Amino acid sequence: MQARVLVAVSFGALVLAACATDSRVAATGEVDPSFYGRWRNVETKIYRADGTIAMQPDLQCVSEVSQSEAISECSFPSGGKSRVVSRFVSLTATGYELEITENDGAPHTVGSRSRVEYRIAGNRRFTTVYPQQSATSPVVKVEATYVRD
C-alpha cells in the first residue's frame, strides 16, 4: 500500500508538470497570455518503466498557472490530497521544463525537473510529461488531457 501511495503522490507532481499549457504564441514570439490560468485534468495515462500502462480515472487535479510558477492541488481516490508548487525553468510555444520547489506529499521530489510537450485543440490541452529519471521512479512518461476550469 505504501508503494501505491508513493506512486500516487509522485504522480501528482507529474500531473502538475503537465497542467499549464497553451500552444498559442503572440506575434512577438512570447507565450500567449491565455497560457496562464486554471486547468483541470480529465484523463491521465501513466507509462511505467516495467512496460505497464495505468489509467488514473479518479485522480482529480486543478492547477493555477502564473508567469513564474504552477501550483497543483490533487485529490486522490483514497481521500488524500497533495499540493505541488513548481517554477518554470524554460517555456516555449510547444514545451516547457518545470522544477518542483514544494511537494507536501513527497518532499524528496523537490529539485526534480520534468520536460513537457504540449498542444491545444479546441478547449482541450494535451500534454506528454517526461519526468526526471531516478532509481526510485517507476514512471517514464505521463500523457494527460486538461480543460480550462
Provide block-wise average pLDDT over 10 residues at a time, the chain (149 residues).
41 47 40 76 93 88 89 90 94 87 93 89 86 84 92
Task: Look at residue 33 in the predicted model and tell me its pLDDT.
Answer: 67
- What is the pTM (predicted TM-score) of this model? 0.75
Domain residue ranges of the chain, discontinuous segments joined by +: 2-148
Task: Give strand pairing partners of 146.
Answer: 41, 125
- The domain made up of 2-148 has a fold known as Lipocalin (2.40.128)
Task: Look at residue 111 in the predicted model and tell me its pLDDT.
Answer: 96
Task: Give strand pairing partners of 117.
Answer: 95, 128
CB 68 within 8 A of CB 50: no
Task: Look at residue 25 in the predicted model and tell me its pLDDT.
Answer: 38
> Would you state the torsion angle of the CA atoms of residues 77, 44, 21, 69, taken in this order, to the nearest 10 degrees?
40
Task: Look at residue 31 in the predicted model and tell me its pLDDT.
Answer: 65
Region for residue 51 given its phi and psi (left: phi exceeds 0; alpha: psi -120 to 50; beta: otherwise): left
Task: Look at residue 134 in the predicted model and tell me its pLDDT.
Answer: 78
How buried is residue 78: exposed, middle or buried, by Cβ count under 10 Å (0-12/13-18/19+)? exposed
By residue count, the chain amounts to: 149
Sequence-distant (≥ 6) Cβ neighbours of residue 28 within 8 angstroms: none
Beta carbons within 10 angstroms of residue 11's beta carbon: 25
136 vs 90: CA distance, rounded Å: 25
